[in-house]
Amino acid sequence: MTNSGGWITHPQRVWLRKAFFQIHLWTGVGIGLYVVMISLTGAVLIYRSELRQYFDPQPQVVRISGPRLSAAELVTATQRIFPDGSVAVWTDPEEPTHAVTMSVASAETGRQQFLFDPYSGEYLGHALPWGWRLTTWLLDLHDNLLTGETGRIVNGIGAVLLTMLAVTGAVIWWPGLGSWRRSVLVDWGENWRRLTWTLHSVLGIWTLLFTLIWGITGIYLAFPGLFTTVVDYLQPFDEESFDPRVGDNVLYWFTRLHFGRFGGWFTKVIWTLVGLVPPVMFVTGLLMWWNRVIRPKRA
C-alpha cells in the first residue's frame, strides 16, 4: 500500500502520518504560547481603527493665568520634569486655552509627547490617552514583538511554523474516506481525554483555512521582499502597461486578509471569534501532550 493511497483510506497505518504527528506535537508545544499571544493581540487589533478613534486625543483646556511662556521657558519647564530627555516644542496651538504639546526624546523610551500649561509651565500628563498608547503598544507587540526588525524576523519564522502546524494538523486529522463526516463534529458524551482530542481536532479543521491565511500572510508581512521577487519573476514589470499585475493585487489582499479589512463588521466579528480559538487549541494540545508524554514518565 503506497503512502498516498493508504493515507486516503487508512491513514492510521501510514508511517508519514506518525512522523507528522511528532512534528505537530513538538512544534505546538514549542510555539503554543507565542501563537496564543499573537492571536489574542490580533483579535484586539482588528478594531484598532475604532479604538484609536474612540481614544482620539482631545485638546486639553487650560485657564489663562497670565502672560504666555516663551518657547525657551516651556523647554526649561519640560526639562525640569524630564531632565534626561531631549526637549522641543511639538505643537503650539492657536487657541489660547489649549495646552501645548512638548516632545521629549530619550534612548530608553524613544520620542514621546507630553502636555504642559503654556502659562504656568505645569506638567499636565501624557499627550496621548492610555487607550491610544495601549493600542500602539499592542500593534508593536503583534508586528515586531517590541524589538523592531529582529522581532519581525522572529514573527516571520513563527508564521512559517504556524503554517506547518496547520498542514501537519490537517494530515493528522484526516480519519479516512469512511469516517471523515464524524470527525467534523464534537461528541460531548465522550470521556474527557477523548473529548480533549475531539475538541482540538474539530476546532483545528474548522479554522484551518483561517490559520493558513494568517500563517501565509504573516510570512509576507515579515518578508515582503521574498514575495515581490516571486511576483517580479512570474510577471515582470511592464513600464508601458498601467494595469496592476495579478501578483500585486494578491499581495495587496494579503494585508487585508490578515487583519480582516474587508466585509465590514461581519468579517471583523468572524476574525475575532476565530482569533479566540488558538488559546483553546493550546490548552487542549497541552493536555494531550501531558497525557501522552509527561504522565507516563511520572507513573
- What pLDDT band is residue 209 in, cutting at 50, 70 and 90? very high
78 with 198, same domain? no
pLDDT tens per residue across span 260-299 = 999 999 999 999 999 999 999 999 999 988 888 777 776 5
Q: Is the residue at 65 inside a domain?
A: no
pLDDT at 88: 83
Helix (H), strand (E) at residue 14? none
Residue 56 has pLDDT above 90, yes or no: no
Residue 18 binned pLDDT confidence (cut-offs 50, 70, 90): confident
In a domain, 36, yes or no: yes
**Both 159 and 106 in a single domain?**
no
Q: Which domain holds residue 159?
A: 3-50+141-298
Does 235 fall in a domain? yes
Mean pLDDT of 80-84: 91
C-alpha–C-alpha distance, residues 269 and 264, integer Å: 9
Which pLDDT value is given to residue 257? Answer: 96
In this prediction, residues 71-81 reach a mean pLDDT of 92
List % helix, strand, coil for the chain (3-state, nearest 5): 65, 10, 25
Residue 56 lies in a domain: no
Same domain, 30 and 157: yes
Q: What does pLDDT average to over the chain? A: 88
Q: Do 163 and 255 have their domain in common?
A: yes
Instruction: Tell me which H or E stretch contains 103.
Output: strand 100-106
Residue 221 and residue 108 share a domain: no
Distance of CA 63 to the CA centre of its chain: 43
pLDDT band of 184, cuts 50, 70, 90: confident
* Statement to judge: residues 100 and 179 lie in one domain: no
Q: Name the packing angle between helices 208-222 and 148-173 (round to 10°).
A: 150
Model pTM above 0.85? no
Total of domains in the chain: 2
Output the nine-digit C-alpha cell for 215: 500563517
| 58 occurs within a structural domain | no
Same domain assignment for residues 76 and 185: no
Residue 62 lies in a domain: no
Q: Does residue 64 form part of some domain?
A: no
Domain boundary among 127, 157, 172: 127
In a domain, 133, yes or no: no
Nearest C-alpha neighbor of 220 from the set 160, 266, 281, 151: 160
